[in-house]
Amino acid sequence: MATRISWNRFLSEYLNTELSHYLWLRALSYLEYVGYRKMVKALQYQEVNREVYHHLSDEIRHSYLLKELAEKSFEGRYFHVPLEPSFIHCAESYFQDIDREVDLWVENLGQGERPYLCYLLVSYLIEKRAMVVYPQYYAQAPENTFKLILQKIIKDEREHLNYLEEHLAKLPESKAFQSSPIWPFEEARFETFLGDFKQCLA
């Protein structure tokens, strides 16, 4: 699988240098934050049930945990290094592109805008991606402090994925979504995100 190979290469290349590792953690933290913000926007008050509440609170916690990990690691040397707008832009545009693609797919079902369905489908794509990203990061993480946090996040992401899979299995749109071109689109978009991140570091 193309993403897996280049993702592994990306990790081994960028975790070896403190500053790029720091910025990678901050970028991940920002991705978690954007994911949280998009979910809040997509969900109506009446849709906030126990699972949604857990999902939301977990994602903003992941964002904080990764930010804190970045700032406390490397002997606090990069504490004052801000996440530059270019990193923010590459994280936001990854999410925006996935969002737009899912919105279009849902619109083509012919039942108008369905923000809750979009929330479920975008989350499903992102959780699948998270379950590639975090376990491999965990495997290559240099120290136990990193592994400890990543282990917590992986546990949560697995739970989110289970909840979404259970939920989606009951929806008639699920089967068509599973075989939709959004999956290869996301894969290619993630590759682009990694490329953009490299460019930001250059």
Does 101 sit near Fe ion (CB under 5 A)? no
CA distances from 132 to 8, 76, 109, 192 (A): 10, 28, 29, 16
**Rounded CA gap, 106 and 28, in Å?**
27
Q: Which stretch binds Fe ion (CB under 5 A): 24-32, 95-103, 106-114, 132-140?
A: 24-32
**Rounded CA gap, 53 and 39, in Å?**
11
Q: Which is nearer to Fe ion, 165 or 175 (CB)?
A: 165
Q: Which is nearer to Fe ion, 67 or 160 (CB)?
A: 160
DSSP string, 147-196: HHHHHHHHHHHHHHHHHHHHHHHTSTTHHHHHTSTHHHHHHHHHHHHHHH
Q: Which is nearer to Fe ion, 2 or 135 (CB)?
A: 135
Does 129 sit near Fe ion (CB under 5 A)? no
Does 62 sit near Fe ion (CB under 5 A)? yes
**Nearest distance from C-beta of residue 134 to Fe ion, angstroms:** 8
Taking each helix axis from N to C end, the angle separating 115-140 and 18-42, rounded to the nearest 10 degrees, works out to 160
Length of the chain: 202
Does 99 sit near Fe ion (CB under 5 A)? no
Residues numbered 130-159 forming contacts with Fe ion, rule: CB under 5 A: 157
**Nearest distance from C-beta of residue 58 to Fe ion, angstroms:** 6
Does 160 sit near Fe ion (CB under 5 A)? yes
Q: Which stretch binds Fe ion (CB under 5 A): 56-64, 88-96, 166-174, 187-195?
A: 56-64
**Rounded CA gap, 45 and 28, in Å?**
27
**Nearest distance from C-beta of residue 160 to Fe ion, angstroms:** 4
Q: Number of H helices and number of E strands within the chain?
A: 8, 0
Cβ atoms within 10 A of the Cβ of 118, count?
18
Q: Which is nearer to Fe ion, 91 or 110 (CB)?
A: 91
Q: Which is nearer to Fe ion, 163 or 177 (CB)?
A: 163
List residues binding Fe ion (CB under 5 A). 32, 59, 62, 157, 160
